[in-house]
Structure 1
Amino acid sequence: MRNDVTEGLFATVVEALLMGRFICEYTDKVAYEYLQQEAYRENVNDYLSRIGRNLQLSSTGDVFYCAYNAINSADRKASVKAQFGITINQLEPLVRWLKLAMSALQKEASIQPGDTLRQGELLTAIEGAQTLADDLAKIVRSGQFATTRSTPREQLNHIMIKLVENAYLKPHDAKSTTYTATGKWSYLYDLLEFIHTHESMGSPEDQPPEEQQEMLL
Protein backbone atom coordinates (compact mmCIF):
# COMPACT_ATOMS: atom_id res chain seq x y z
CA MET A 1 0.00 0.00 0.00
CA ARG A 2 1.15 3.53 -0.72
CA ASN A 3 1.96 5.70 2.29
CA ASP A 4 -0.82 8.17 1.55
CA VAL A 5 -3.34 5.32 1.35
CA THR A 6 -2.18 3.72 4.60
CA GLU A 7 -2.17 7.08 6.39
CA GLY A 8 -5.71 7.72 5.24
CA LEU A 9 -6.81 4.27 6.37
CA PHE A 10 -5.06 4.72 9.71
CA ALA A 11 -7.05 7.89 10.41
CA THR A 12 -10.31 6.34 9.20
CA VAL A 13 -9.85 3.19 11.29
CA VAL A 14 -8.86 5.02 14.47
CA GLU A 15 -11.79 7.41 14.14
CA ALA A 16 -14.22 4.52 13.63
CA LEU A 17 -12.88 2.66 16.66
CA LEU A 18 -13.08 5.73 18.90
CA MET A 19 -16.69 6.21 17.80
CA GLY A 20 -17.47 2.75 19.15
CA ARG A 21 -17.78 0.96 15.84
CA PHE A 22 -17.11 -2.75 15.44
CA ILE A 23 -14.93 -3.51 12.43
CA CYS A 24 -15.36 -6.83 10.63
CA GLU A 25 -15.15 -8.02 7.04
CA TYR A 26 -18.90 -7.56 6.61
CA THR A 27 -19.17 -3.99 7.92
CA ASP A 28 -15.90 -2.62 6.48
CA LYS A 29 -13.80 -5.15 4.60
CA VAL A 30 -11.02 -2.66 3.77
CA ALA A 31 -10.59 -1.57 7.39
CA TYR A 32 -10.79 -5.18 8.60
CA GLU A 33 -8.09 -6.31 6.18
CA TYR A 34 -5.98 -3.31 7.21
CA LEU A 35 -6.16 -4.42 10.85
CA GLN A 36 -5.32 -7.98 9.86
CA GLN A 37 -1.83 -6.74 8.97
CA GLU A 38 0.35 -6.94 12.08
CA ALA A 39 2.33 -3.75 11.41
CA TYR A 40 -0.79 -1.66 10.81
CA ARG A 41 -2.55 -3.22 13.79
CA GLU A 42 0.39 -2.35 16.04
CA ASN A 43 0.38 1.24 14.77
CA VAL A 44 -3.29 1.59 15.64
CA ASN A 45 -2.84 -0.01 19.05
CA ASP A 46 0.20 2.18 19.82
CA TYR A 47 -1.85 5.29 19.08
CA LEU A 48 -4.80 4.10 21.14
CA SER A 49 -2.54 3.24 24.08
CA ARG A 50 -1.38 6.85 24.25
CA ILE A 51 -4.95 7.95 24.94
CA GLY A 52 -5.75 5.20 27.44
CA ARG A 53 -7.37 2.70 25.10
CA ASN A 54 -6.44 -0.48 23.27
CA LEU A 55 -7.46 -2.53 20.26
CA GLN A 56 -9.45 -5.65 21.08
CA LEU A 57 -10.25 -8.68 18.93
CA SER A 58 -13.06 -11.14 19.59
CA SER A 59 -12.09 -14.68 20.60
CA THR A 60 -13.00 -15.96 17.14
CA GLY A 61 -11.04 -13.21 15.38
CA ASP A 62 -14.14 -11.92 13.60
CA VAL A 63 -14.32 -8.35 14.87
CA PHE A 64 -12.07 -5.54 16.13
CA TYR A 65 -13.20 -2.92 18.62
CA CYS A 66 -11.77 -0.37 21.05
CA ALA A 67 -11.69 -0.60 24.86
CA TYR A 68 -10.27 1.34 27.80
CA ASN A 69 -6.87 0.29 29.16
CA ALA A 70 -7.71 1.13 32.76
CA ILE A 71 -10.55 2.73 34.64
CA ASN A 72 -8.67 5.24 36.75
CA SER A 73 -10.72 8.42 36.66
CA ALA A 74 -14.14 9.26 38.04
CA ASP A 75 -15.52 10.28 34.65
CA ARG A 76 -14.24 7.15 32.97
CA LYS A 77 -15.56 4.92 35.74
CA ALA A 78 -18.97 6.56 35.41
CA SER A 79 -18.89 6.10 31.64
CA VAL A 80 -17.97 2.42 31.86
CA LYS A 81 -20.51 1.74 34.62
CA ALA A 82 -23.23 3.34 32.49
CA GLN A 83 -22.16 1.34 29.44
CA PHE A 84 -22.08 -1.85 31.49
CA GLY A 85 -25.63 -1.22 32.66
CA ILE A 86 -26.79 -0.53 29.11
CA THR A 87 -25.09 -3.71 27.87
CA ILE A 88 -26.68 -5.88 30.56
CA ASN A 89 -30.13 -4.44 29.85
CA GLN A 90 -29.70 -5.10 26.13
CA LEU A 91 -28.71 -8.73 26.54
CA GLU A 92 -32.06 -10.27 27.49
CA PRO A 93 -34.05 -9.09 24.45
CA LEU A 94 -31.13 -9.94 22.16
CA VAL A 95 -30.89 -13.46 23.54
CA ARG A 96 -34.66 -13.93 23.33
CA TRP A 97 -34.66 -12.76 19.71
CA LEU A 98 -31.72 -15.04 18.92
CA LYS A 99 -33.61 -18.04 20.30
CA LEU A 100 -36.70 -17.03 18.33
CA ALA A 101 -34.71 -16.75 15.10
CA MET A 102 -33.04 -20.13 15.67
CA SER A 103 -36.44 -21.75 16.27
CA ALA A 104 -38.02 -20.05 13.26
CA LEU A 105 -35.16 -21.10 10.98
CA GLN A 106 -34.91 -24.54 12.62
CA LYS A 107 -31.22 -24.01 13.32
CA GLU A 108 -29.33 -25.69 16.15
CA ALA A 109 -26.37 -23.32 15.89
CA SER A 110 -26.53 -19.67 16.87
CA ILE A 111 -26.20 -16.90 14.30
CA GLN A 112 -22.59 -16.53 13.16
CA PRO A 113 -20.80 -13.68 11.35
CA GLY A 114 -21.40 -14.03 7.62
CA ASP A 115 -24.72 -15.86 7.98
CA THR A 116 -27.53 -14.70 5.70
CA LEU A 117 -30.90 -13.89 7.27
CA ARG A 118 -33.99 -13.40 5.11
CA GLN A 119 -36.76 -11.42 6.75
CA GLY A 120 -39.40 -13.07 4.59
CA GLU A 121 -38.29 -16.53 5.67
CA LEU A 122 -38.43 -15.52 9.33
CA LEU A 123 -41.87 -13.95 8.92
CA THR A 124 -43.32 -17.01 7.19
CA ALA A 125 -42.16 -19.25 10.04
CA ILE A 126 -43.44 -16.87 12.73
CA GLU A 127 -46.85 -16.40 11.12
CA GLY A 128 -47.12 -20.17 10.74
CA ALA A 129 -46.57 -20.93 14.43
CA GLN A 130 -48.57 -19.20 17.15
CA THR A 131 -45.92 -19.94 19.79
CA LEU A 132 -43.34 -18.03 17.73
CA ALA A 133 -45.77 -15.14 17.18
CA ASP A 134 -46.40 -15.03 20.94
CA ASP A 135 -42.67 -15.02 21.64
CA LEU A 136 -42.19 -12.16 19.19
CA ALA A 137 -44.97 -10.17 20.87
CA LYS A 138 -43.26 -10.63 24.26
CA ILE A 139 -39.91 -9.43 22.92
CA VAL A 140 -41.34 -6.13 21.69
CA ARG A 141 -43.17 -5.29 24.92
CA SER A 142 -40.13 -3.72 26.59
CA GLY A 143 -36.41 -3.05 26.28
CA GLN A 144 -34.53 -1.99 23.19
CA PHE A 145 -37.05 -3.68 20.86
CA ALA A 146 -40.12 -2.08 22.45
CA THR A 147 -42.83 -0.98 20.03
CA THR A 148 -46.59 -0.50 19.93
CA ARG A 149 -46.84 -2.20 16.55
CA SER A 150 -49.26 -5.10 16.72
CA THR A 151 -48.74 -7.45 13.77
CA PRO A 152 -45.88 -9.97 13.44
CA ARG A 153 -44.83 -8.32 10.16
CA GLU A 154 -44.54 -4.89 11.77
CA GLN A 155 -42.90 -6.23 14.92
CA LEU A 156 -40.30 -8.24 13.02
CA ASN A 157 -39.54 -5.33 10.71
CA HIS A 158 -39.02 -3.10 13.76
CA ILE A 159 -36.57 -5.57 15.30
CA MET A 160 -34.60 -6.00 12.07
CA ILE A 161 -34.25 -2.22 11.77
CA LYS A 162 -32.95 -2.07 15.35
CA LEU A 163 -30.46 -4.86 14.68
CA VAL A 164 -29.15 -2.92 11.68
CA GLU A 165 -28.93 0.28 13.74
CA ASN A 166 -26.94 -1.57 16.41
CA ALA A 167 -24.58 -3.11 13.81
CA TYR A 168 -25.61 -6.74 14.28
CA LEU A 169 -26.97 -6.98 10.74
CA LYS A 170 -26.05 -5.37 7.44
CA PRO A 171 -28.68 -5.23 4.67
CA HIS A 172 -27.56 -6.39 1.25
CA ASP A 173 -28.68 -3.03 -0.16
CA ALA A 174 -30.67 0.02 0.92
CA LYS A 175 -34.10 -1.56 0.34
CA SER A 176 -33.21 -5.19 0.97
CA THR A 177 -34.84 -7.42 3.57
CA THR A 178 -31.96 -9.88 3.25
CA TYR A 179 -29.18 -9.33 5.76
CA THR A 180 -25.67 -10.49 6.59
CA ALA A 181 -24.81 -11.10 10.24
CA THR A 182 -21.79 -9.04 11.29
CA GLY A 183 -18.85 -9.77 13.55
CA LYS A 184 -20.60 -8.02 16.42
CA TRP A 185 -22.34 -11.33 17.17
CA SER A 186 -18.91 -12.70 18.15
CA TYR A 187 -18.50 -9.83 20.61
CA LEU A 188 -21.95 -10.60 22.02
CA TYR A 189 -21.10 -14.28 22.52
CA ASP A 190 -17.82 -13.37 24.23
CA LEU A 191 -19.76 -11.07 26.55
CA LEU A 192 -22.37 -13.73 27.31
CA GLU A 193 -19.66 -16.30 27.99
CA PHE A 194 -17.89 -13.89 30.34
CA ILE A 195 -21.08 -13.16 32.27
CA HIS A 196 -21.98 -16.84 32.45
CA THR A 197 -18.50 -17.74 33.72
CA HIS A 198 -18.40 -15.01 36.35
CA GLU A 199 -22.12 -15.15 37.22
CA SER A 200 -22.15 -11.36 37.17
CA MET A 201 -25.63 -10.61 35.89
CA GLY A 202 -26.06 -8.47 38.99
CA SER A 203 -27.07 -4.88 39.48
CA PRO A 204 -25.45 -2.38 37.11
CA GLU A 205 -24.89 -0.31 40.24
CA ASP A 206 -22.06 -2.69 41.12
CA GLN A 207 -18.63 -1.92 39.72
CA PRO A 208 -18.01 -4.15 36.68
CA PRO A 209 -15.05 -6.54 37.03
CA GLU A 210 -11.73 -5.48 35.49
CA GLU A 211 -12.04 -7.96 32.61
CA GLN A 212 -15.50 -6.65 31.84
CA GLN A 213 -14.23 -3.09 31.85
CA GLU A 214 -11.73 -4.01 29.15
CA MET A 215 -14.56 -5.21 26.89
CA LEU A 216 -16.31 -1.84 26.96
CA LEU A 217 -15.45 1.30 25.01
Structure 2
Amino acid sequence: MNNEAFSEIVHLLISGEVIDNLCFTLHYQRLLDNVFFDEMNDFLHRIDRKCVKTHDGYGFYAVYLNVQQRKVQDSIESHFNAFVSKIEPLVEWVRLCRSLHSESKPLAYNDIISKGHLLSAIEQSEYLQSRLKEIIKKLGRSNTASSSQEHLESVLKYLTAENYLFNTGSDTGSVYVATAKWSLFYEQLEYIAACEQIKSDSDSQLKQDALL
Protein backbone atom coordinates (compact mmCIF):
# COMPACT_ATOMS: atom_id res chain seq x y z
CA MET A 1 0.00 0.00 0.00
CA ASN A 2 1.18 3.51 -0.81
CA ASN A 3 0.99 5.11 2.66
CA GLU A 4 1.44 8.63 1.33
CA ALA A 5 -1.43 8.27 -1.13
CA PHE A 6 -3.57 6.61 1.56
CA SER A 7 -2.98 9.53 3.93
CA GLU A 8 -3.72 12.07 1.19
CA ILE A 9 -7.04 10.38 0.40
CA VAL A 10 -8.01 10.26 4.08
CA HIS A 11 -7.23 13.97 4.42
CA LEU A 12 -9.25 14.85 1.32
CA LEU A 13 -12.24 12.80 2.43
CA ILE A 14 -12.43 14.10 6.00
CA SER A 15 -11.95 17.68 4.77
CA GLY A 16 -15.12 17.34 2.68
CA GLU A 17 -13.67 16.93 -0.80
CA VAL A 18 -15.33 14.90 -3.54
CA ILE A 19 -12.72 12.65 -5.15
CA ASP A 20 -13.41 12.18 -8.85
CA ASN A 21 -11.53 11.24 -12.01
CA LEU A 22 -10.91 14.88 -12.95
CA CYS A 23 -9.51 16.66 -9.90
CA PHE A 24 -7.97 13.62 -8.19
CA THR A 25 -7.45 11.08 -10.95
CA LEU A 26 -4.96 8.73 -9.22
CA HIS A 27 -6.85 8.78 -5.92
CA TYR A 28 -10.12 8.07 -7.72
CA GLN A 29 -8.55 5.12 -9.53
CA ARG A 30 -7.26 3.74 -6.23
CA LEU A 31 -10.69 3.95 -4.64
CA LEU A 32 -12.15 1.96 -7.54
CA ASP A 33 -10.02 -0.96 -6.34
CA ASN A 34 -12.26 -2.96 -3.98
CA VAL A 35 -9.39 -4.05 -1.73
CA PHE A 36 -8.10 -0.51 -1.34
CA PHE A 37 -11.65 0.80 -0.84
CA ASP A 38 -12.28 -1.71 1.95
CA GLU A 39 -8.97 -0.84 3.62
CA MET A 40 -9.89 2.83 3.43
CA ASN A 41 -13.22 2.21 5.10
CA ASP A 42 -11.64 -0.02 7.75
CA PHE A 43 -9.51 2.97 8.72
CA LEU A 44 -12.29 5.56 8.42
CA HIS A 45 -14.57 3.48 10.66
CA ARG A 46 -12.11 4.06 13.50
CA ILE A 47 -12.82 7.78 13.29
CA ASP A 48 -16.56 7.28 12.78
CA ARG A 49 -16.51 7.98 9.05
CA LYS A 50 -17.32 6.03 5.91
CA CYS A 51 -16.41 6.53 2.26
CA VAL A 52 -19.36 6.34 -0.13
CA LYS A 53 -20.05 7.04 -3.79
CA THR A 54 -22.29 9.68 -5.26
CA HIS A 55 -25.48 8.19 -6.67
CA ASP A 56 -24.15 8.42 -10.21
CA GLY A 57 -20.86 6.77 -9.19
CA TYR A 58 -18.65 9.61 -10.40
CA GLY A 59 -17.30 10.70 -7.03
CA PHE A 60 -16.28 9.46 -3.59
CA TYR A 61 -16.87 11.39 -0.38
CA ALA A 62 -17.03 10.77 3.37
CA VAL A 63 -20.05 10.64 5.67
CA TYR A 64 -20.42 10.23 9.43
CA LEU A 65 -21.44 6.85 10.79
CA ASN A 66 -22.94 8.19 14.02
CA VAL A 67 -24.66 11.56 13.93
CA GLN A 68 -25.90 11.41 17.52
CA GLN A 69 -22.71 12.78 19.05
CA ARG A 70 -22.84 16.48 19.90
CA LYS A 71 -19.52 17.32 18.26
CA VAL A 72 -20.63 15.56 15.09
CA GLN A 73 -23.91 17.46 15.07
CA ASP A 74 -22.00 20.73 15.51
CA SER A 75 -19.70 19.82 12.61
CA ILE A 76 -22.64 18.90 10.38
CA GLU A 77 -24.45 22.11 11.28
CA SER A 78 -21.37 24.18 10.47
CA HIS A 79 -20.93 22.43 7.12
CA PHE A 80 -24.65 22.74 6.38
CA ASN A 81 -24.70 26.47 7.11
CA ALA A 82 -21.68 27.00 4.86
CA PHE A 83 -23.39 24.99 2.12
CA VAL A 84 -26.70 26.84 2.45
CA SER A 85 -24.94 30.19 2.11
CA LYS A 86 -23.70 29.12 -1.34
CA ILE A 87 -26.81 27.36 -2.63
CA GLU A 88 -28.41 30.37 -4.28
CA PRO A 89 -25.43 31.55 -6.38
CA LEU A 90 -24.64 27.96 -7.40
CA VAL A 91 -28.22 27.35 -8.48
CA GLU A 92 -28.11 30.66 -10.40
CA TRP A 93 -24.96 29.46 -12.15
CA VAL A 94 -26.63 26.17 -13.09
CA ARG A 95 -29.58 28.11 -14.49
CA LEU A 96 -27.30 30.40 -16.46
CA CYS A 97 -25.46 27.44 -18.01
CA ARG A 98 -28.72 25.59 -18.62
CA SER A 99 -30.18 28.54 -20.51
CA LEU A 100 -27.27 28.32 -22.94
CA HIS A 101 -27.38 24.56 -23.42
CA SER A 102 -28.96 23.35 -26.64
CA GLU A 103 -30.96 20.70 -24.75
CA SER A 104 -31.58 22.94 -21.72
CA LYS A 105 -30.19 20.29 -19.39
CA PRO A 106 -28.66 21.02 -15.98
CA LEU A 107 -24.91 21.08 -15.54
CA ALA A 108 -23.60 17.57 -14.87
CA TYR A 109 -20.34 15.70 -14.39
CA ASN A 110 -18.00 15.86 -17.39
CA ASP A 111 -19.91 18.65 -19.13
CA ILE A 112 -17.64 20.99 -21.06
CA ILE A 113 -17.68 24.69 -20.18
CA SER A 114 -16.19 27.04 -22.76
CA LYS A 115 -15.41 30.48 -21.37
CA GLY A 116 -15.48 31.91 -24.89
CA HIS A 117 -18.94 30.50 -25.62
CA LEU A 118 -20.30 31.73 -22.29
CA LEU A 119 -18.78 35.18 -22.66
CA SER A 120 -20.11 35.62 -26.19
CA ALA A 121 -23.65 34.75 -25.08
CA ILE A 122 -23.48 36.89 -21.94
CA GLU A 123 -22.18 39.96 -23.78
CA GLN A 124 -25.17 39.75 -26.15
CA SER A 125 -27.74 39.59 -23.37
CA GLU A 126 -28.42 42.26 -20.75
CA TYR A 127 -30.43 39.70 -18.80
CA LEU A 128 -27.50 37.27 -18.59
CA GLN A 129 -25.19 40.13 -17.64
CA SER A 130 -27.50 41.01 -14.76
CA ARG A 131 -27.65 37.35 -13.66
CA LEU A 132 -23.87 37.12 -13.71
CA LYS A 133 -23.55 40.26 -11.60
CA GLU A 134 -26.05 38.79 -9.14
CA ILE A 135 -23.99 35.61 -8.86
CA ILE A 136 -20.90 37.71 -8.15
CA LYS A 137 -22.78 39.57 -5.44
CA LYS A 138 -24.17 36.44 -3.79
CA LEU A 139 -20.78 34.74 -3.81
CA GLY A 140 -19.33 37.75 -2.04
CA ARG A 141 -16.79 38.28 -4.81
CA SER A 142 -15.28 41.70 -5.43
CA ASN A 143 -17.66 43.78 -7.49
CA THR A 144 -15.05 46.28 -8.68
CA ALA A 145 -14.83 44.56 -12.07
CA SER A 146 -16.52 46.52 -14.82
CA SER A 147 -16.74 44.07 -17.71
CA SER A 148 -18.64 40.83 -18.25
CA GLN A 149 -15.33 39.12 -18.97
CA GLU A 150 -13.96 40.08 -15.56
CA HIS A 151 -17.17 38.98 -13.85
CA LEU A 152 -17.13 35.64 -15.65
CA GLU A 153 -13.46 35.06 -14.89
CA SER A 154 -14.13 35.75 -11.21
CA VAL A 155 -16.92 33.17 -11.05
CA LEU A 156 -14.91 30.58 -12.98
CA LYS A 157 -11.96 31.16 -10.66
CA TYR A 158 -14.19 30.56 -7.63
CA LEU A 159 -15.79 27.42 -9.08
CA THR A 160 -12.36 26.04 -9.98
CA ALA A 161 -10.93 26.78 -6.53
CA GLU A 162 -13.92 25.02 -4.96
CA ASN A 163 -13.46 22.03 -7.33
CA TYR A 164 -16.84 22.44 -9.03
CA LEU A 165 -14.94 22.96 -12.28
CA PHE A 166 -11.68 21.48 -13.54
CA ASN A 167 -9.47 23.66 -15.72
CA THR A 168 -8.30 21.50 -18.63
CA GLY A 169 -5.04 23.43 -18.82
CA SER A 170 -5.55 24.46 -22.43
CA ASP A 171 -3.25 27.14 -23.79
CA THR A 172 -5.93 29.79 -23.42
CA GLY A 173 -7.21 28.44 -20.11
CA SER A 174 -10.72 28.83 -21.46
CA VAL A 175 -12.07 25.28 -21.28
CA TYR A 176 -13.42 23.75 -18.08
CA VAL A 177 -15.09 20.48 -17.17
CA ALA A 178 -17.82 20.02 -14.55
CA THR A 179 -16.71 17.73 -11.70
CA ALA A 180 -18.52 15.19 -9.55
CA LYS A 181 -18.97 17.87 -6.90
CA TRP A 182 -22.09 18.82 -8.85
CA SER A 183 -23.37 15.27 -8.35
CA LEU A 184 -23.13 15.69 -4.59
CA PHE A 185 -24.56 19.21 -4.83
CA TYR A 186 -27.75 17.89 -6.46
CA GLU A 187 -28.01 15.09 -3.88
CA GLN A 188 -27.74 17.65 -1.09
CA LEU A 189 -30.44 19.78 -2.71
CA GLU A 190 -32.71 16.74 -2.95
CA TYR A 191 -32.10 15.97 0.73
CA ILE A 192 -32.93 19.53 1.75
CA ALA A 193 -36.07 19.49 -0.41
CA ALA A 194 -37.15 16.17 1.15
CA CYS A 195 -36.60 17.57 4.66
CA GLU A 196 -38.58 20.67 3.80
CA GLN A 197 -41.40 18.49 2.47
CA ILE A 198 -41.42 16.43 5.65
CA LYS A 199 -41.52 19.64 7.71
CA SER A 200 -44.28 21.01 5.50
CA ASP A 201 -46.30 17.80 5.82
CA SER A 202 -45.72 17.79 9.57
CA ASP A 203 -46.85 21.42 9.90
CA SER A 204 -49.94 20.66 7.82
CA GLN A 205 -50.76 17.69 10.04
CA LEU A 206 -50.36 19.83 13.15
CA LYS A 207 -52.73 22.40 11.71
CA GLN A 208 -55.25 19.69 10.87
CA ASP A 209 -54.96 18.23 14.36
CA ALA A 210 -55.52 21.68 15.85
CA LEU A 211 -58.72 22.05 13.85
CA LEU A 212 -60.12 18.73 15.01
Scaled by the length of structure 1, the TM-score of the pair is 0.83
Aligned match of 1:66: 62
Aligned match of 1:120: 116
Q: Distance in 2 between matches of 1:27 and 1:95?
A: 22
Q: Distance in 2 between matches of 1:12 and 1:56?
A: 17
Aligned-partner SS, 1:56: strand
| Overall identity of the aligned pairs, in % | 27
Shift in Å at residue 27 of structure 1? 1.0
Figure out how many residues of one structure are paired with residues of the other and give that number.
198
Q: Which has the larger radius of gyration?
A: 2
Aligned match of 1:41: 37
Q: Distance in 2 between matches of 1:133 and 1:189?
A: 25
Specify whether residues 40 and 199 from structure 1 end up closer, same or farther in structure 2 by C-alpha distance, changes over 3 A only. same
* CA contact 1:93–1:144 (8 Å) conserved in 2: no
* CA contact 2:108–2:182 (8 Å) conserved in 1: yes
Q: Distance in 2 between matches of 1:7 and 1:142?
A: 41
Q: 1:26 aligns with which of 22, 25, 31?
A: 22
Aligned-partner SS, 1:140: helix
Q: Distance in 1 between matches of 2:88 and 2:94?
A: 10
Letter aligned with residue 132 of structure 1 = L
* CA contact 2:20–2:180 (8 Å) conserved in 1: yes
Map 1:93-172 onto structure 2 (within 5 A): 93-145=89-141, 147-172=143-168
Q: 2:182 aligns with which of 158, 180, 185?
A: 185
Aligned match of 1:9: 5
Shift in Å at residue 151 of structure 1? 1.8
| 1:160-202 alpha-carbon deviations (Å, 9 max, x no partner) | 00000110011111861211111111001111111222227x9
Query: 45-54 or 191-200, which moves further after superposition?
Result: 191-200
Q: Distance in 2 between matches of 1:145 and 1:102?
A: 22
Shift in Å at residue 98 of structure 1? 0.8
Q: Distance in 1 between matches of 2:93 and 2:173?
A: 20
| 1:77-129 alpha-carbon deviations (Å, 9 max, x no partner) | 22211111111111111001110111134441111111111111100000011
Which has the larger helix fraction?
A: 2
Say which structure, 1 or 2, has more relative contact order (CA 8 Å, 6+ apart): 1
Note the residue ranges of structure 2 that are not aligned, 5 or more in a row. Answer: 200-212
* CA contact 2:52–2:60 (8 Å) conserved in 1: yes
Query: 26-35 or 69-78, which moves further after superposition?
Result: 69-78
Query: 123-132 or 9-18, which moves further after superposition?
Result: 9-18
Q: Distance in 1 between matches of 2:193 and 2:142?
A: 25
| 1:125-175 alpha-carbon deviations (Å, 9 max, x no partner) | 000111111211222223345633232111111000000011001111186
Aligned-partner SS, 1:109: coil
Scaled by the length of structure 2, the TM-score of the pair is 0.85
Note the residue ranges of structure 1 that are not aligned, 5 or more in a row. Answer: 203-217
Shift in Å at residue 63 of structure 1? 0.6
Specify whether residues 119 and 192 from structure 1 end up closer, same or farther in structure 2 by C-alpha distance, changes over 3 A only. same
* CA contact 1:93–1:139 (8 Å) conserved in 2: yes
Q: Distance in 2 between matches of 1:88 and 1:61?
A: 24
